Structure 1
Amino acid sequence: MIEDLKAVGKTPLSEKVYSTLVESIVKGTLPPGTKLQEQHVAKQLAVSATPVREAFRRMERDGFIESIPYCGVVVKELDYEEIMDAYACRANLELMAVREAVHKITDQQLDLLVHLSHSAASEDDFMKTSENSSRFHQTIYQAAGNKVLIHLMDSLSTVILRDMKYSAMDPKREQEILSEHKRIVQAFLDCDEEKAVRAMSVHLDNGLAYMKKRR
């Protein structure tokens, strides 16, 4: 419950408030429907209202909370129909990105993919894990060089980034993701388009299966 939240340290406060609240939502400490009052959260986390307000804005943008008229801010229910639809769109776009990126990726971008596929964050740093995963996929989109594709992926970012944070909280799934990323990178190193597509397809299928298990 909200009373179980731990006080956060000093700067940057809004980032720490965001991480604390998102972690509590992902772990189920703050279940869907929980009402979050700005002043109450600020008191529990021993911060002022400003970083809480900033964190709330980011959390709403990322799909973790929603503002309901005459009720206030509440933890948002996961919309599994939305997740299924988003994954269907994402799969087609990501596989398209891989096909284009394999032949266009620069040495610098490839080096970054290698680095990210070997960058395991500490067990308690799920934010870093999700950020690494996001950068991995963003690098492939950029390598593809398709501006329309990048724009379309941005429109799915709310669902995708939210789901990455859920996956990052699971140590077993985190290790699976790193292994899947390494197989994708190896296909890029081999400049093997079909191998890269298969590796990405397996990665996306496993991600979808993981989210289904959370129902």
Structure 2
Amino acid sequence: MSAIDQLPSFSAGARTMLGDEVYGALQQSILEGTFPPDARINAGELARHFDVSPTPVREALARLESDGLVEKLPLRGYRTTELLDRRGLEELFELRLLLEPGTAANAAARRSSADVAELSKEVTTGRSAIGDANAYRLLSQHDVRLHDLVFRAARNETVRLAYTRTHCHLHTFRLAYTGAYVTDTVDEHAAVAEAISAGDPDAAATAMRTHIERSRDRLLQVID
């Protein structure tokens, strides 16, 4: 069975959502390895599989290229990118250690009651993923939301957008598509959220630094 045969199919209707649906299906298939690194992606075959015009497929592939999950080959279509190597992973986490502990400290100093409520709700959502059949997919979505909430609470849109453009969560979850770290990750998120909610910048920075360092070490074990 080919990778395309393993993709979901969509029924007719809800035409305005087709582009997002195609993008979501392809992104998930790349993250979980249905499309492995360096796999060719044929836009025409995708359009036939999804029973859509080429336009939503082209739009989805353009978004995946922006994510860094595919690259366009001159006159040859698209291919999936390689996984991060050890050096790339270390550099990515070096950037995170520069940005996120300070951001967490700022979030603790600047958070609103709405921020506190959203962080608490997101931690609860993360815990609900534990034991679920789709735990890792749910965790990846939770992780993106939790970190974005911290950036939003810090009230620095420039830093938030700079971080978002790295697409670091997509690349790290693609590297280690396994549910082994669900409990640890959510516990670490909870510690960050609690420190921010308590208005303790030092504790928030420490909790975030600990979380990032432990995430890095878990992923380095996968590479090694």
TM-score (norm 2): 0.81
Task: Tell me the distance in 1 between the aligned counterparts of 2:4 and 2:152.
Answer: 43
Structure 1 residue 106 and structure 2 residue 112: aligned?
yes
| Correspondence for 2:217 among 206, 209, 212 | 209
Task: Work out which structure has the larger RCO, using CA pairs closer than 8 Å and 6 or more positions apart in sequence.
Answer: 2
Q: Match of 1:115?
A: 121
Q: Does 1:182 align with 2:185?
A: no
Residue-pair matches, total? 213
The correspondence of residues 132-211 of structure 1 with structure 2, limited to 5 A, is 132-156=142-166, 158=167, 160-163=168-171, 165-166=173-174, 169-211=177-219
Q: Aligned partner of 1:109: which letter?
A: D
1:69 to 56, 62, 74: 74
Residue identity opposite 2:7 in structure 1? K
Correspondence 1:42-53 to 2 at 5 A: 42-53=47-58
Sequence identity (%): 23
| Structure 1 residues 36-88: Cα deviation after superposition (integer angstroms, max 9, x where no partner) | 01011222344432222221111111111001224320011123333322221
Query: Which digits, 9 at most, give the CA deviation of each residue in 1:3-50, with x for residues without a partner?
Result: 432332244322332232222222222111111010112223444322
Amino acid aligned to 1:93 = L
Asked if structure 2 preserves the Cα contact closer than 8 Å seen for 1:102 and 1:193, the reply is yes
Change (3 A) 1:14 1:151: closer
Structure 1, unaligned stretches of length 5 or more?
none
- Structure 1 residue runs of 4+, over 6 Å off? none
Structure 1 residue 205: Cα displacement: 1.6
> Which ranges of structure 2 fall in alignment gaps of 5 or more residues?
none
C-alpha distance in structure 2 between counterparts of 1:171 and 1:127, whole Å: 8
1:14 aligns with 2:15: no
2:32 to 27, 34, 56: 27
Q: CA RMSD in A?
A: 2.6
Displacement after TM superposition at 1:169 (Å): 4.8
**Cα distance in structure 2, aligned partners of 1:213 and 1:73:** 30
TM-score by length of 1: 0.84
Alpha-carbon contact 1:126-1:168 (below 8 Å) kept: no
Instruction: Tell me how far apart the structure 2 counterparts of residues 170 and 114 of structure 1 sit (CA, whole Å).
Output: 25
Cα distance 1:205–1:111, how it changes in 2: closer, same or farther (>3 A)? Answer: same
Match of 2:140 among 119, 130, 138: 130
On the 8 A contact 1:187/1:195 being kept in 2, the answer is yes
Q: Structure 1 residue 4 and structure 2 residue 14: aligned?
A: no
